[in-house]
Amino acid sequence: MSVKRLPRCVWVLGGTGFVSWWLYVAIVWLSRGFRYGTPGPDRPLLVVLCVLAALFGLYVFQVWYATRRCAASGAAMPVIAVFAITFRILLLFSDPIQEVDAYRYLWDGKVAAASVSPFKYSPEQVLTASAQDGDAAEDLRRLVELRDRSAANTEILRRVHFGELTTVYPPVSQLVFTAAACVTPHSASVQTQLLVMKSIVVAFDLATFWLLIALLKFVGRPAEWSIAYAWCPLVMKEFANSGHLDSIAVFLTIATVYCAVRAFYPPPGTKNHSATFEYRLSSRQWTFLAAVALSLAVGAKIYPIVLAPLLFFSAWRKVGRVAALSARIVVLTLSALMITPMLSRDKPEPEQVVNTFDESPPLPPVPTLPATTSPPKPSTPGIDPTKTGLSAFAGQWQMNDFLFLLVSENLKGPVKRPTPWFVIVPLEWRENFITFVAQRTSLHRSQIPFLAARLVTGAVFIMLALGFAWRGMKSDCAEDWLRAVFLTIAWFWLLQPTQNPWYWTWALPFIPFARSRAWLAVSGLVLLYYARFWFSYHAAETQVLGTPYVGVTFFDYVVTWIEYCPWFVWLAWTSATRSYRHNVVR
């Protein structure tokens, strides 16, 4: 095919992809200002956010053009694939922007490779332990030797965020970390080790892209819809730049969904599974594979367990009771085995507990980035050092949330910081509620509002998840079932107390099956999360825009409303208009 005969869609997508490539080059160049130890005020956060906003605006056009103008020709897929790979390779060589989680992955991998459970000792315990301590356990002494084996190991250990807590990452992710440690030379620098880890993260990310194409083709949707995931700036930032491990769970989740769709639905144009020889596996075998994949996904990040009701209900109706029961046994047994190691840890004495949760804005606080010569970091205020990483995350973590914040702040008693403007429940009612619960439980008063909000939002999600599972079970259309998958994950994220941007990547592969355009906007809006750091650096002690809120408190109580409130109005409007049109047609 000559250059002149290339379809117009190829030229348009290729041209806009090239513009995106140059914007990612700018991101790589700007990332040097985020190297570990760089003072916060010197970091070009606002410039990076502006570049990401430009990338997202271009991305919205690219998704629209690829799915509306290119789907008929099929010529756009090579362009989509080439740029998807090119963007990721480029960002692999950037410095993580405002993220330090990958250092925990590196250390966990080294610990597991040394035949020590990463759930047993916190990095701070290893950092403060002495090789000459005769009372130290054998495995702790082994970790001290590992720490002192190279300057890079010591530096990685120092950079672990919330080092007073044990790891929060499940066993399947730990296996990936261990593999990264095993293939990395012991003499490698911190940057080289980080590059290896990020490369493995991106490998899972690209595997998700490949499997998404297979899923789209199987249900009869244009493969060009894969651009919604493959070119998403949020995916590039969180996986190729920051190296977040969520790509592992995202891949295993879409593998679960792909196996389930193969089990529950025939390809388009066939009435049942027996009508085609394409199914080399029976529906029961695909269901079993889906159950195993879901268990592994839970072992990578836990959140995919929210799809279990949808999988069980659908298997019961579409495959049979035996297959559904077998899937349930597999998922529950393997998931329990995955989570159990994360729950056990020898805890310090009770008097070491820190209870400052009610004095602090939503956790986690902005990380400090000490120089390599700094002493060991003290425990973070507001974090209970007697907790395991998982229990601390589930019982205290709160960040960039909206719905959860509305509930939790309307349950809190008086605190030293300014009361949020959206608190409408009288203080007397809130204090009476906290006192009532405290008198009947062993909970500390500062924990009650958070845990009560967990119960409320958890109950709402359970009702939604069961509704989506029922809808998916009754649906005879694979796309409707996939929409139930998307809505289950999306609403799980929306009701969480911790809505980090990279958590939205859980739902992104299923964006092609969301009917509202509002959902596409989340990938751009959620990047406002990084503005929180800017407020902490430049307005830590300053009241912002005449409000009583300073620094991150202004972000938590004002910016999150800008981030979420108009979006919820948009989602409600599109849902209402779609329902109205549906009723009119009927």
Classify residue 439 as exposed, middle or buried by CB count within 10 Å of its CB (0-12, 13-18, 19+): exposed
Tell me: pLDDT of 1 over 50: no
pLDDT digits (tens, 9 = 90+) for 60-91: 999 999 998 887 667 889 999 999 999 999 99
pLDDT digits (tens, 9 = 90+) for 213-248: 999 999 999 999 999 999 999 999 999 999 999 999
pLDDT digits (tens, 9 = 90+) for 120-163: 999 999 998 886 666 668 888 899 999 999 999 999 999 998 88
Neighbours of 462 (CB within 10 A): 12
Neighbours of 330 (CB within 10 A): 18
Q: Which of 232, 235, 231, 293 is nearest to 261 (CA)?
A: 293
pLDDT digits (tens, 9 = 90+) for 404-460: 999 999 999 887 778 899 999 999 999 999 999 999 888 888 889 999 999 999 999
How far is Cα 81 from Cα 97, in angstroms, rounded to an integer?
Answer: 25
Q: What is the pLDDT of residue 395?
A: 62
Neighbours of 289 (CB within 10 A): 20
* Ramachandran angles phi, psi of 157, nearest 5°: -65, -40
Q: What is the pLDDT of residue 347?
A: 45
In contact, 226 and 213? CB cutoff 8 Å = yes
Give the pLDDT band (50/70/90) at residue 344: low
Q: What is the pLDDT of residue 182?
A: 94
Q: What is the pLDDT of residue 7?
A: 80
Structure tokens at 408: 């939790």
How far is Cα 412 from Cα 398, in angstroms, rounded to an integer?
Answer: 14
**b/e map 370-392, b = 16+ CB within 10 Å:** eeeeeeebebbebbbbbbbbbbb
Classify residue 445 as exposed, middle or buried by CB count within 10 Å of its CB (0-12, 13-18, 19+): middle
Q: What is the pLDDT of residue 354?
A: 40
Q: Is the pTM of this model over 0.75?
A: yes
Chain centroid to CA 202: 15
If phi over 0 gives left and psi between -120 and 50 gives alpha, with beta otherwise, what is residue 551? Answer: left
* Ramachandran angles phi, psi of 384, nearest 5°: -85, 110
One-letter-per-residue 3-state SS of 207-262: HHHHHHHHHHHHCCCCHHHHHHHHCCHHHHHHHHHCCCCHHHHHHHHHHHHHHHHH
Query: 460: Cβ–Cβ under 8 A, 6 or more apart, which residues?
Result: 495
Q: What is the pLDDT of residue 278?
A: 45
* DSSP state string for 337-406: HHHHHHH------GGG----GGGSSSSSPPPP---TTSPPPPPPTT--TTS-HHHHHHHH--BS-SHHHH
**Helix, strand, coil tally for the chain in percent (to 5):** 70, 0, 30
